Structure 1
C-alpha cells in the first residue's frame, strides 16, 4: 500500500499511525481467551480510523476487517474514549498565559493583519440519532437531529477550544454564553493584554459572526449597510478573512473524518 493509499484509507500518515499504536496500544490491548485470540492493537487502531474516515456501515466495515458489527462498534468507542482521555487536554488548549496570548495574537496579526485576536469562534451541526423521548430538543432547522460543536481555532487552523453535545435547540450564542470559555474570557489576563490604536483601547479577544453577542472580549462584524463608512468595511473585511480560519478548519475536519456526515 502506497503512502497516499494508506492516508486515503486511514486518514493519517503511516508514521502518525505508528505513533498512535505505540502511545495508546497499552490502553486498547486485550488478553487472549480460551475461546478466541484478541484482536491485535494495530488492527484495532486501523479499524477505528477507517470507521471515522468513512460513511460506511459498521457491519460492512467490520466485515472488511474480519470482525462482527458489535466488535467494530466496541473498538470505535474504546478508541475514541482513549483518544479523548489521553490527548484532549494536552493538545486542545486555549491560551491562558502571557506568552501563549502574545504568540497567538501575533500569529493572527502576521497572517491576517488583524490585531489582538485569540481565536476564531463558530459552531457547526453534528448529525445524531436523538435520545428516545428527547427528539424535539435535537431537531434543527435543516429538518434532522443534531448536536452543536462549538469550537475555536488559531491562525494555523489548530483547534484550541471544543465544546460539543448541546442539543440543537440551543443556538451557538447560547452555548457560548453558558460555556466555561465565556467565564474564562472574563479573566483579568485578557483585559491586561491590549494595544492602543488611534486612542482606542483594544484588548485580546475572540472573533465570531453576527450571531454572537458583542463584548470587549468578543468582536463581530458591523451590520452590513449601504452607507457603511470605509473604516467599517475594512474592519469587516479583515475580520472576515480572520474568521474564515474556523470555517476552513471545520471543512478539513469533515473532509478527513467523514463519519461526521452520518448520524452517530
Structure 2
C-alpha cells in the first residue's frame, strides 16, 4: 500500500511539472508573428489604387495603376506563394507594391513594417526577392545590348538626330553609390573612409541603359573599372558585333562606330574622349562641346534614377551584394518605364533637353543624391589610332557644312 501511494505521489509531481504554465514558460513558447494586426495603420496598396488616391499612387510607386498592373502580370507568377494551414501567403500585389515603395521613397524597413503590417525581417526578405525577380524577368526585354549591326545603327541614328554626334553607339559613365558600412563589407568597398559601390553603364540616346555593372570595388576609379571590365574585354574581342567603319554623313571620310566618355576613360579607336588641357584650339573646343552633348543621355539617365528612386537620396543600409540586386531592379524598371514613355515617370524638367541649344535640367541644381562622380586620379592612356580618329572627327565637325544647323541636324 505504501509503495502504491509513493508511486501515485511521484506521478502527480511529474504531471505538475509537465503542466507548469508560469509566465516565464509562456514567454519562451510565444510564436513569432507573421502579419501584425495594427488597426491604426493605413496606406495599404489596395487603398492606393483607388481613383481618389491616384496622385498618391504616382508619388509612392512612380508609375500609374495601369503600368503597375502590367508589371504585376509579368512578375506576379514568380512572386506568388502558397497558403499553408498556419497562415495565408502575402499576395504578389502587396510584395510588388512594398518593394516599389521602398525603392521610390527610401523608407526604412521599420516604417514599411508598420505600414504593411508585416514583420521587419519579412520586409527585408520580400524586397530582396522581388528585386531579384524584377531583374530576372525584365532584363531580357529591357536591358540587353544590341545584337546585330542593324540595331547598333539604330542606336547611332538616335545620337545623330538628338545629340548631333555621328557614329556614336553609346555614352559611358559611372557613379559611386554611398552605402552605410555594416561592418561586413571589408576595406574593398571603401574609398576615402567612405563605403560605396560603383554603378557603371552604357546609355543610348534616349537615356535607356544598354549595359550596367554594379558592385565593383569602391576604391577604384572609372578608368580602372573600364580596363578591368567585362565590357572592355567583350569590346576588344569584337563580341558586340559593331558595324564596320563607314563614311560619315555627307562625307567620304570613313569612321568607325564608337562609344563616348569623359576624360577618365582612355582614348581608343572605339571610344572617343575630349581633348585634355586648357590650351585647346577652336576646333578642339567645338569637338569637346559636341562630345559633351553626346554624353548628356548618360547624365540624364543617372539624374532620373536619383530623382525618381529616392532610395538614392540616402546612404543605403544594405550589404554591397544586396545593393547590387536593388540597383539592377531599378535599372530594369527605368528602361521599362522609359520604353512606355511614361509621363508619370518622365515629367518635363528633370533631365537635360536636346533643343537647338542644350536645355539644362533641374537635376543640375538639385544634385544626384548619394550618387557621386568618380574623379580622375591620373592621366588616362591614349592610343595612336584613337588620337588620329579624334582629330578626324574634330576636323569633320568643324567644317561649316557639317556644323549643327538650326533644325538640330548635321
TM-score (normalizing by structure 2):
0.61
Q: 1:171 to 1:89 in 2, by over 3 A?
A: farther
Change (3 A) 1:191 1:101: closer
Q: How does 1:8-157 map to 2 (within 5 A)?
A: 8-130=59-181, 132=183, 134-141=185-192, 143-157=193-207
Verify: 1:214 aligned to 2:267, yes or no: yes
Q: 1:130 to 1:176 in 2, by over 3 A?
A: farther
Give the whole-Å Cα distance in 2 for the aligned partners of 1:211 and 1:185.
18
Aligned residues between the structures: 262
How many Å separate the matches in 2 of 1:184 and 1:223?
27
Equivalent of 1:195 in 247, 262, 265: 247
- The 1:131/1:68 distance shift into structure 2, 3 A limit, reads closer
Give the structure 1 partner of residue 365 of structure 2.
none
Q: How far is the alpha carbon of 1:208 from its aligned partner?
A: 0.6
The whole-number CA distance in structure 1 between the counterparts of 2:140 and 2:260 is: 23
Q: Could you tell me whether the CA contact under 8 Å between 2:165 and 2:291 is conserved in 1? A: yes
Task: Tell me the distance in 1 between the aligned counterparts of 2:271 and 2:189.
Answer: 27
Secondary structure in 2 matching 1:221: coil
Q: Which moved more, 1:125-134 or 1:144-153?
A: 125-134
The TM-score, its normalising length taken from structure 1, stands at: 0.92
Aligned counterparts of 2:173 and 2:226: Cα–Cα separation in 1:
9
Decide which moves more: 126-135 or 107-116: 126-135
Q: Does 1:257 align with 2:284?
A: no
Matched, 1:161 2:214: no
2: CA distance between counterparts of 1:11 and 1:152?
A: 23
- Which has more radius of gyration? 2
SS of corresponding position for 1:126: strand
Q: Are positions 1:204 and 2:204 aligned together? A: no
CA RMSD of aligned residues (A): 1.9
Q: Which runs of 5+ in 2 are unaligned?
A: 1-51, 319-410
Contact (CA 8 Å) 1:95, 1:118: kept in 2 or not?
Answer: no
Q: Is the contact between residue 209 and residue 220 of structure 1 (CA under 8 Å) also seen in structure 2? A: yes
Contact 2:153 2:243 in 1 (8 A): no
Please give the secondary structure, in 2, of the residue aligned with 1:192.
Answer: coil
The separation in 1 between residues aligned to 2:182 and 2:221, in whole angstroms, is 19
User: Residues 58 and 134 (structure 1 numbering): CA distance in 2 closer, same or farther, change over 3 Å?
Assistant: closer
CA distance in 1, matches of 2:243, 2:70: 40
**Bigger CA drift: 170-179 or 7-16?**
170-179
Q: Offset of 1:152 from its aligned partner?
A: 1.1
CA deviation string 1:143-163 (max 9, x = no partner): 420110000111100111001
* Secondary structure of 2:105 counterpart: coil
Specify every segment of 5 or more residues in structure 1 that has no aligned partner in the other structure, as ranges.
Answer: none
Pairing of 1:177-196 with structure 2 (within 5 A): 177-186=227-236, 187=238, 189-190=241-242, 192-196=244-248
Distance between the aligned counterparts of 2:114 and 2:182, measured in 1? 28
- Would the aligned equivalents of 2:148 and 2:242 in 1 still touch at CA under 8 Å? no
The CA deviation string for residues 107-164 of structure 1, in whole angstroms up to 9 with x for no partner, is 10011110111111000112234574653221124x4201100001111001110011
The alignment partner of 2:242 has SS state of helix
Is the alpha carbon distance of 1:131 and 1:66 closer, same or farther for their aligned partners in structure 2, counting shifts above 3 Å?
Answer: closer
Residue 232 of structure 2 aligns to a residue whose secondary structure is helix
Q: Distance in 1 between matches of 2:245 and 2:98?
A: 46
How far did residue 35 of structure 1 move? 2.1
> Does 112-121 or 198-207 show the bigger shift?
198-207
